[in-house]
Amino acid sequence: LSMAGRGRGRGRGQMTFNVEAVGIGKGDALPPPTLQPSPLFPALERRAAPLPGGEEGEYMLALKQELRRAMRGLPYFVKPGAPRRDIERYSDKYQLSNPVDSAIDWNPGGGTQEGTWVEHGDVGLTGRLTNLPLCPPDWRRLPRELKIRVRRLRKGRTAPLVPKQHVALDKEETIKKLESLEKKEEEVTSEEEEEKEEEEEGKEEEEEEYDEEEHEEETDYVLSYFDNGESFGPDSDDNGDEAVY
């Protein structure tokens, strides 16, 4: 019994449709069967057409790179909070502030070190920094569940200010033990709600003045000079503030 269509070597290469109609003539060599996935970078037969140059193209290119740089500096670029260190160190008190997870820092100054260099900085352009006062999120427009509570480490220092808009920045390491009053680092404020729902809903708590960076430390020393010695070593190139000899 010869089953139809099973012939190997007889009628090899037959197909269900009339190959001539599609244009494969008799005796034409068919391309070899594909035994492996197509190459990752197939050879280019033709070079791509040159990009349109011109003033518009240049300007849009500059705009694009500018936007990228600007957005990295804005507080909308959410960075993860600083990882907890294994041991509390004395130097932590003097470190430049690290972002806190639970802070919505859409506020003046950003604390994201806009005046300095950002990671993966784009090459070549001078930034048009948007270091100007921002409007904080309007909580009236957002679902209530998104409001974030920030633990305040400083007990009621200033009288509450009237408007929601004038919120200042407060950032701090969330190390609860260092809750002493004399410590004043940069401040983040976000609005806070009481824990219990039954009490005031949406009532604001105290808001704090935004002190500029100069006031954050009550020391006479410039913060960036503090070197806790951790980065000593051949493979540390963090100290960008010191001149390299």
Partner 1 sequence: MTQAELRLCSLLLQEHFGEIVEKVGNSLLRTGPRPLRLLVGDTGLLPDQVKKALCVLIQHNLVRYEVQPRGSVEYEARSERILRILRYPRYIYTAKTLYGDPGELLVEELLLHGHLPMSCAVARVADRLTETMEDGKTMDYTEVSSTFVRLADTHFIQRCPIVPESPRSAKALPHSAPALAIDEKDMYIVPRLSLVGKGKRRHSCDEEEEEGEHKTKRQKQDGGSSETPPDDGIYWQVNLERFHQHFRDQALVSAVASRMDQVCGSHLRSHSGTELFPFRFLVFPIQTSSEVVRTMLRMSEVTTASGASHTQPLSSNEIFRSLPSGYNIGKQVLDQYLALLADDPLEFVGKSGDSGGGTYTVKVTWGPGVSRVSPSSFPHPSLIPPLLHRFGSRCARIFRLLLRKKHLEQKQVEDFAMIPAKEAKDMLYRMLSENLVSLQEIPKTPDHAPSRTFYLYTVNVMAAARMLLHRCYKSVANLMERRQHEMRENKRLLEKSQRVEAILASMQATGAEAAQLHEVEEMITGPERQQLETLKHNVNKIDASENQVDETIFVLESFIESTTKRP
Q: x/- site string to partner 1, residues 108 to 127, per CB under 8 A?
A: xx-----xxx--xxxxx---
For residues 189 and 205, give the distance between their C-alpha atoms in angstroms, rounded to a whole number.
10
74 is a contact residue toward partner 1 (CB under 8 A): yes
Within residues 171-200, the interface with partner 1 by CB under 8 A covers none
Within residues 6-65, the interface with partner 1 by CB under 8 A covers 16-18, 21-24, 45-46, 48-49, 51-57, 59-61, 63-65
How many residues are given for the chain? 245
Kindly state the number of chain residues that form the binding site for partner 1, as judged by CB under 8 A.
82
Question: CB of 224: closest distance to partner 1 in angstroms?
Answer: 12
For residues 188 and 205, give the distance between their C-alpha atoms in angstroms, rounded to a whole number.
13
| 203 contacts 68 by C-beta, under 8 angstroms | no
Question: CB of 51: closest distance to partner 1 in angstroms?
Answer: 5
Kindly indicate which of the ranges 83-91, 207-215, 219-227, 228-236 contains the residues binding partner 1, using the contact rule CB under 8 A.
Answer: 207-215
Q: Kindly state the tokens that stand for 142.
A: 């957002």
Kindly indicate which of the ranges 99-107, 152-160, 178-186, 221-229 contains the residues binding partner 1, using the contact rule CB under 8 A.
Answer: 99-107
Q: How many CB atoms lie within 10 A of CB 39?
A: 7
- Residue 137 DSSP SS3: coil
Phi, psi of 67 (to 5 degrees): -60, -45
235 is a contact residue toward partner 1 (CB under 8 A): no
- What is the distance between the terminal CA atoms of the chain, rounded to a whole angstrom? 90
